[in-house]
Structures are given as structure tokens and as C-alpha cells.
Amino acid sequence: MSGEKGLKSAEVTLDGMNYYSLTGLKDPRVEKLPYSIRVLLESALRNYDDFEIKKQDIENILDWEKTSQNATEIPFKPARVIMQDFTGVPAVVDLTAMRDAMHRLGGDPDKINPLVPSDLVIDHSVQVDFARSPDAAAKNQALEFERNKERFAFLKWGASAYKNMLIVPPGSGIVHQVNLEYLARVVFDDSDTLYPDSVVGTDSHTTMIDGLGVVGWGVGGIEAEAVMLGQPISMVLPEVVGFKLTGKLHPLATATDVVLTVTQMLRKHGVVGKFVEFFGEGCKSLKLADRATIANMSPEYGATMGFFPVDAETLAYLRTTGRSEEKIARVEKYLKANGLFRTWDKSETDPVFSSLLELDLNDVVPCVSGPKRPHDRVKVSDLKADFHACMPAPNGFKGFGVKPEDLTKTAKFTFGGKEYDMKHGQVVIAAITSCTNTSNPSVMLGAGLLAKNAVARGLSVAPFIKTSLSPGSGVADCYLKESGLIADLEKLGFYVAGFGCMTCIGNSGDLDEAIANCITQNDMVASAVLSGNRNFEARVHPLTKANYLASPPLVVAYALAGTVDIDFEKQPIGKDSEGKDVFLSEIWPSAETVAEIEKKVVRPEVFKDVYGKVASGENNPQWKTLAIPEGKLYKWDEKSTYIHNPPFFQTMGIEPEPVKDIKEAYCLLNLGDSITTDHISPASRIAKGSPAAVYLTERGVEQKDFNSYGSRRGNDEIMARGTFANVRLINKLASETGPLTVYLPSGEQMAVYDAASKYMAAGLDLVILAGKEYGSGSSRDWAAKGPKLQGVKAVIAESYERIHRSNLVGMGILPLQFLDGQSAETLGLTGKERFTIKLSSQPLVVGMDVEVDAGGKKLMTKCRLDTDVEVAYFQHGGILQYVLRRLLKG
């Protein structure tokens, strides 16, 4: 491509509509590009304005094979934004606060308005308060509305106050499944221009849509807000790992087993900050729901996304989910014309990739992941031995630190008037939950068939195990009912508990008091088994130390067994009605039977009916009748403990202040490796006696109404107090595990928030020391906003998770990285030093080295402002301040 001619030649028509043709560039490099990179190229061509997107950006993408090795920066304008309510509420709060600031500074508040389609699905607020009963879902949804009515009213107001914003009401399903089944366009065709669907979302598992051939990944809420306001994402052109799939899946293996295997392989390979693109004959044998399962867990294997290009299977899925034939025909015609469709013909040349991996699907065996990380895969046949090895191992990712004399300990508890024994490994939570698997009919129907076979043999699940079924959409509920399998799941206690992201996000509800007391008083290693994508410490439930990710059929199996301390190949899962041993292999459903039922019950009419009711609001009468305030400017209620005007824009001026030095800062926390956003900003329940609980109590909120941090993310006062509030946090400055640190001037140990408040009151700067993969896990803007409100000026870590590093920059916190081979430990830093970082004496530039004076020890660090735009964001005090000033100046 060269000059205007190259751009003009890309403008062509199809069926009377314009599109930007990649082949029209007549550049031989195009057909070598991975399909995911071709989508970035199309966006650059279409949005070229020689200002935000320049000719050199297009040239850099075309030259991807070389430029991807050099951390080359490119702008990208996604076609749309998607949010869930935990992360979406603070985004709408920020937009609303920006409107106030625009009004205060003399600008037009209506400029703060989404310029691209922005969908928000309310799915994270429902909890498993009630389980194992026919009315569990109705009761949980009633409680959800009771607790969150104020939030819901604010969101409904947002849908009316902002243009281009769709709110999907509570009770509709999980955001990523709703996106896959309903919201995804694949190709935008609602204007005079055709172009590929692409999306960024305020949840890391936005990547699920990559299985549909839609480029998408998770970003922080603050980045999403910038995209909504018309700003491009500034990103480093990524390497693309080609993952070749061959063969066909073994009949005993499921898509869950595939993704856990892929996750382990890619973690080992190293794909942080990279795209993964799947190719090979094996792709043809995977149904789209299987691909979506693999794409969903991209954050768990560390990639920006895991992409499957559009092919015939994509078109078949669009047809199954009720998209119109006219739409499907246009998708096929446009993508084929533009070189964005894979036929898998032998004549079709594979793209060039940065590196390659290969997996024969026939080698995949049943497995789980745990007990504390999603990439710690264990074969089902090895779990018993692995669990035994974890028991005495030191506390860590694969250890519980149980003393030798306590390994065979048994404790007793009473439930329902009957006494039970509890041993280590006892399953207390078994949940079929999460977008990862509930969007996949084969594993859901497989779980139902396993339940049917178990019931037929007289097997049951112990009544004290908290079993739940949380379908990701009403579609899953419909086909389980039509197949008749829901009745068998219910007989084992798997009643529908709600339609949303429940146990996987930590909304698992309370355990029975007798069980909770038994676990805590005897320090038992209790277990949860769930079909989710995350099992970090204290995420699923504070009392379950051993948490395993598994396919829905295996969730049922471990619930029947009642323990993870079992070898299914050698030990029976239970005894039948005649007292005979029953082995898992005897009741495991065949792949043929699952496929036969799936063909009968998963039909387009089901999707059309379910989502027709979602669109009309018929699925939730409470939402339909919910009263909302009027006006373009929101009337903040200072008494509200859910929605609060944040301080980020209240005092900002038209011009940014000069960047200041960080002087004699104290270390708030000295942290180790793999500190997740669950550690930094937990979404779980607000614990009694915590700073957030004290704040709520002072305002007359009773403990039963505390709700979770996730549901109160619209209130900065709560979230600042909830920062670093995870009970499993290990801070080297503190003498015990938990949300504690030492206020260094006095040596007093206290809650992290209380210490931060004392430092800020004294006018003292703060830094954080951390190890590898700081900020891994879900994309939570509050994991950056919280430290900002606690006075943190910089983080010095060995490495960062991609989204969290970006979020820190977006909040004006400086991310510094130890040089290779160095760490706080190797440099002899204890966290008790005073830290000085001079930033005003030299201009900030991408990739510069920054010297840190740590109490007389001088160390060099790498500044992780990775692009010129990120430098500008930091200089403005954050991305939203930067955007607001640009909009204010026109």
C-alpha cells in the first residue's frame, strides 16, 4: 500500500453497500496475515483520518510479520462495547460524573454520550442465597431486586439518558452467553457500510465472542468508557500464536477438558499480550459452542484473545440461534469477498504465525483444574493422588500446609437432624455455573443425562452439599426442560438458582451455619467443584480452600461422590438401591446420545422466543415497572450507599497539572507473585467488622443488607474501603494473612484502608511492591481506582497482567517494572524503605528507564508507559481526564 491510491482502491461496493476491501489494497502481505490481524487492518482502513489513524499505522499492520516483533503501537477502534453490571455501573457512574464536570467547566454535557453501540447485561448481582428447592430462582431474583433496586434504577435511567446504550435486564442470562447468542452482529450492516463486528468489554471473558469469529477482548472500565466516547484503543501490535488442532475429540472428553488442556499448554508456552489463533482440520470437528468455551478462557491462559475465524460452522450457529437468513447470507458474502472467511479447503493457505503449537484432540482426557488456579490441570484419574500431595505441601498454589497428624482428621456436624462426618476434600459446593460451560448444550445435556442415569441407579447427593444450576440464558433452561433432563438434575439437588454469573464470581451465598462452623473450628480443607473459569483463593467461597474447575457432568459426578478425594477408575461413585457398587463409567452418557438429544431440543425457535421476551422486557416485570428519574444530568443522592459521585473529576481544571515527583513515599504493601484483582478488589461479600462494613453500619445499613463489593461498585467510598480487603491476601509487612498492613511511622498493624487513610491525612505518598503477574484475573477498574483513592502513586512489580497495567495508567498510577532477574527480594527490599522517584526532571517517553531511590539504595526500573498515548494519559492524571479535556476543547 502506498499513498491515497492505496486507500481509495480499498473502497468498493457489495449489494449497494460500501466496504473497505483488503484485497483491493493489492498487497501480497494481506494473505499472509492472521485473520485476527486482518480485522485490525480493516478497522484502520475504514477509520483512517490521518490524525488518530495515520497511513503509517496501516503500513505497520500490513508489515505485521516484522512490526509485531518490535512492540509497535497501533490505534484500534472497536465497533462496539459490552459491559456487565459489576463493571458497567461504575462506567455509567463515571460518564455521569463527566457530564457534571463538562457542565461545570462550561462545555456541552451531551458530548458525553456513547458514539458506538454500548450494551450492558445485568448478570452479576444475583446470589445463591436459596438452593435445592423449586422456588430457589424466584426467591434469589426477588432478593436481587430488593438489594439492587437503586443500582437497577440508575442503569435504567442511563438507558434513557444516553443514546446508543442498551440495558439487558436482570434474569436474562450471563453477559458473554447473551453476547454470543443474541447481541453479536458478526458483520455490521445497519448503515451504508459493511464492516466486521469487533468489541471490547468490561469483563476479561469478553473473549468468548472470539469463538464466533468476532475480534474481542476485555479492557478496564476506563478504557471502555474512552471507546464509548469515540477514542481509539492504543495497543501494541501483538504477536499471534498459531494453535493447530488436529483429530477429533475422544467420546469421553468434553469441551471443558479441551480448554483446560489448552490453558495449561498456552500458559507453559507464554502468550501474555499475544493473540492466539486456532487453525487446522481439528477446527472443523469442533462445534461453535466448543470453540466459544476455548475462547472464553483466554484470560486463564494469558492471551489477549483466542480467535477462531468465521467459517461454515459459524454460519450454522447463526442459523441455530435464530438469526435471519438474509443476515447470514450477507455475513457469508461480505466476509468471503473480503478475505475474512475460512473454507478449510486444502488449497487454502494458512497465515504466517509468530510461533506454533499443536494438539491432537483425540489425546484430550477428562480433567479438572485446581485447587487454586485455572491453569493447574489435573487428570481426573490423578486427582486423588494430587489432592493428597497438596495436603501437607506448604501453603501455596498447590499446597494447604496441613500438619501430618491432621491429614486423616474427621470432624462431625449435624444437618437436618442427622449427624455427618467431614473429612478433608469434602465437597460442600457443587455448581453448574458460568458462561464458560452453560452456553454449551453438549456439556449441559451431558450433565442432565448423567443425572438421569444416576437417579435410575438409586444414587443421590448428600443433602448438605450446596448444589445449584445457574444457566447462562433462558435458552439452556428451555432445552433442559424440553429434554426432560431438568427433572433428574433437580432430583440430585441441581435446581435452577438464577440466570446470571453466580458461584463463579463468588456469589455462592452462605453455607449452612453448622457446616461453616465445622470447617472453621476444625480447619478443614473443604472443596467446591464448579463448571466455571476462575478458582482463585477465596473467590468461590471464603471457606472452600480446594476449588476445582470441571465440566458440568463432572460437577454432578463429584457431587454424587461427595468428595474430591476419589479415584473414579478404582473407587465406586456410590451404591445403588440394592447396595451394589456403581462406578462412574457405568453411568457416564455416550457422546452419541448427547448429540441425538441436542439435535432435537436446541432449535432456532427456542432462541427467538427467549430473546424476543428479553427485548420486550416480558422476562422481568419488576424491571419493566421500575420508576426512574428524568433529565440528562443525574440527581445524586448523598445518602445513597450504592451510587455516589466519584471525586475523579470534581476538582479537575481545563489544563493538566505538571507531573510531580514521588517523594519519600512509604510502602503500603509488599506483595508476592500472582496477586490477582480478586486480592486487590474483591467482588465478594462485605465482611463484618471491615472498613466497608463500619462505613455502612454508621449509615444505618444492617449486616444482612451489606451485599457484595461487586454490587456496590457505583460507590467510591465503599470501594476504596474494599481495596485489598481479600481475606487471603498475603502482605509481607503484616504478621498474618488478611487485609492488613503496618502503618510504618508507628509500627502499628491495621486494616489496609485505615493505614492508607492515615498516610493520606499526613500528606504522605505511597507505593506498592509486587512480584510476577501483578493484577492477573478479571478486568476490574476498581483494582486501579481503589489504590488511586488510597493514595498510591506507583506500583513496582516484576511483571503485570495486561489489562491491569493499562488500568493503572488509566488512573494516573505509574507502573514500574523491575529489570529482568531482579525483584524486591533479590534487591534486599523489605518494604520498610522510603521511596523517591523523580519524574519532573526529564520528559516521560515510552520504554524509558526510571531510577528509584529506596532509602539510599538506588535501583533502575523500566517505566511501563508502553505507548505515546499512555504517556499523555498519565500526564493528564488519567485516560478519562484526557478524553474530557479533548471533548471540552472540541
Residue range 442-489, pLDDT digits in tens: 999 999 999 999 999 999 999 999 999 999 999 999 999 999 999 999
Q: CA dist 129 to 141, 696, 709, Å?
A: 10, 21, 16
- The one-character DSSP state at 339 is T
Measured CA angle at 479 (ends 478, 485), to 5 deg: 110
Residue 1 confidence (pLDDT) above 80: no
C-alpha cell belonging to residue 371? 485447587
Residue range 700-747, pLDDT digits in tens: 999 988 988 888 999 999 999 999 999 989 999 999 999 999 999 999
Residue count of the chain = 890
CB 599 within 8 A of CB 562: no
Per-residue pLDDT band for 8 (boundaries 50, 70, 90) equals: low
Per-residue pLDDT band for 776 (boundaries 50, 70, 90) equals: confident
Residue range 839-876, pLDDT digits in tens: 998 899 998 999 999 999 999 999 999 888 889 999 99
Residue range 57-81, pLDDT digits in tens: 999 999 999 999 998 989 999 999 9
| Run of H or E residues at 325 | helix 325-337
Instruction: Give the C-alpha separation, 603 to 444, whole Å.
Output: 15
Instruction: Give the C-alpha separation, 354 to 375, whole Å.
Output: 23
Residue 262: which residues within 8 A CB-CB, separation 6 or more?
A: 243, 294, 297, 301, 306, 359
For every residue of 435-468, DSSP letters joined together read: HHHHT-HHHHHHHHHHHHHHHHTT----TTSEEE
Burial letters 605-638, b for 16+ CB under 10 A, else e: ebbeebbeebeebebbebbeebeeeeeeebeeee
Domains, the chain, ordered by start: 3-76 (no CATH), 78-236+603-635 (3.30.499.10), 239-359 (3.40.1060.10), 367-565 (3.30.499.10), 647-888 (3.20.19.10)
Instruction: Give the C-alpha separation, 720 to 245, whole Å.
Output: 45
Per-residue pLDDT band for 779 (boundaries 50, 70, 90) equals: low
Give me the pLDDT at residue 5, please: 40
Describe the strand order of the beta sheet including 187-188 as a list of residue ranges.
Answer: 11-14, 17-20, 193-196, 187-188
Instruction: Give the C-alpha separation, 803 to 881, whole Å.
Output: 19
Cα of 183 vs its chain's centroid, Å: 18
Instruction: Give the C-alpha separation, 464 to 158, whole Å.
Output: 42
Instruction: Give the C-alpha separation, 143 to 500, whole Å.
Output: 14
Measured CA angle at 778 (ends 867, 508), to 5 deg: 170
Instruction: Compare 221 and 812 and report the one with higher pLDDT.
Output: 812
Residue 464: φ, ψ to 5°:
-85, -10
C-alpha cell belonging to residue 798? 516484576
Residue range 294-333, pLDDT digits in tens: 999 999 999 999 999 999 999 999 999 999 999 999 999 9
For every residue of 478-499, DSSP letters joined together read: HHHHHHTHHHHHHHTT--B--S
Give the mean model confidence (pLDDT) for residues 267-275: 94
CB 730 within 8 A of CB 720: no
Give me the pLDDT at residue 534, please: 85
Instruction: Give the C-alpha separation, 278 to 213, whole Å.
Output: 11
Give me the pLDDT at residue 6, please: 43
- Give helix then strand counts, H and E, for the chain: 33, 34
Instruction: Give the C-alpha separation, 786 to 801, whole Å.
Output: 17
Is residue 604 reached through a cis peptide bond, with omega within 30 degrees of 0 on the bond before it? no
% residues pLDDT > 90 (the chain): 82
Instruction: Give the C-alpha separation, 685 to 702, whole Å.
Output: 13
Residue range 553-574, pLDDT digits in tens: 999 999 999 999 999 999 999 9
The 3-class SS string of 732-746 reads CCCCCCCCEEEECCC
For every residue of 229-274, DSSP letters joined together read: TTPPEEEEPPPEEEEEEES---TT--HHHHHHHHHHHHHHH--TT-
Residue 25: φ, ψ to 5°:
-70, -20
Instruction: Give the C-alpha separation, 441 to 435, whole Å.
Output: 12
Instruction: Give the C-alpha separation, 612 to 159, whole Å.
Output: 19
Residue range 32-51, pLDDT digits in tens: 999 999 999 999 999 998 88
What is the average pLDDT value for the chain, to the nearest integer? 94
- Closest to 310 (Cα-Cα) out of 154, 196, 419: 196
Specify the pTM. 0.86
Residue range 114-128, pLDDT digits in tens: 999 999 999 988 999
- The one-character DSSP state at 540 is S
- The one-character DSSP state at 179 is I
CB 273 within 8 A of CB 309: no
Residue 9 confidence (pLDDT) above 60: no
Give me the pLDDT at residue 806, please: 87
Give the mean model confidence (pLDDT) for residues 508-531: 96
